[in-house]
Structure 1
């Protein structure tokens, strides 16, 4: 778009890019745009293939009849006259209504494309745009990235996003702590997480705390009654609750 605008304003510039990036398409658009402004355009190239590519694009869009091939193996006096005659007849066949119809089609297409752009860059209540989200996924996503989903119609606000980021940070810290435990989870035989399993595990942990506290009392009583100098390590209730949490 910048190149097309620059060409219409008479600027000198170099349009550079590797193969397949749309240079021929851009050149064709520049020619068509300047023709619409009533200008003459001279297009030269080192190789005939480059001329053919641009000419073919102009033909596909109905602008090729306004192009005059001056230097090629097909050029002759008769061929040049035929091209001029075709351009002249084409100009006479187009009415003001035809131009207005085409202009309205282009306007409708432009408005539709602008609608896509508007949706992509609309900032949602969570502070993100679709364009931002797509860019982040393309840059950062990998096979281990979890797929999260919410019920249809769910909308998050910035506070929700911050809360989820805080959870993600805590999970990352917990992951680092778990990685330092060697074989600490070898007693777990369950291989799939579920809400029911989590509730059962937490409930069992609460019963374990109560059982350990009663065991502490029983041990102390045995020491008193037996008179044996037992010095077994003792775990406080606070430490047990911290461990369970």
Structure 2
């Protein structure tokens, strides 16, 4: 039997009203978590909201078979009872298995995943042959300090006559050893600006390379580089906005 659109609307709002009339509290979530834990129903929302259809099954398998923990994905929206359930369950699970249990599951699952035919046939060849990744698990970084690259550019950029204010978007490849190659400009800048940006990039110290499934890989990095005057102007604008909101 097929439901008409009007029936579906009535069904939706009836269900919504029912759910709203039976609101659960934070205390309800805590009680349920304690009861589930007592029964041996251990739950962690380790998988977040990003689905990795290749690796997640290995995480789920290791967690269930070795620790009897059920892994699930995080909800986009959580009601108070759900937040309290997760907080209580996390505390109990971490107390039982250790605060590093999620990292342990991931490490153990990664060992099994790398032994799989899927990994050996589709992922390992890309890593071994120098494939340039655009999506990775750990992005390449100029430094552990988030502001270090900006300070490096601001300190080392040279002024260009008749080109005081400019900003250019570029990309380059961060190699496995952290060196940079293949500088690409998304627009065609003035030749003197192009030369200065190329000089600045070539002078950069080695980056911290990207990681994919724990392996060091080549990675396409996108950044923007501005003139010193442009950066100083933007700093002043940000400072004024911050001052006006305080």
Shorter chain as normaliser: what TM range? under 0.3
Higher relative contact order (CA 8 A, sep 6+): 2
Structure (1/2) with the larger strand percentage: 2
Tell me which structure has the larger Cα radius of gyration: 1
TM-score between the two structures when normalised by the length of structure 1: 0.19
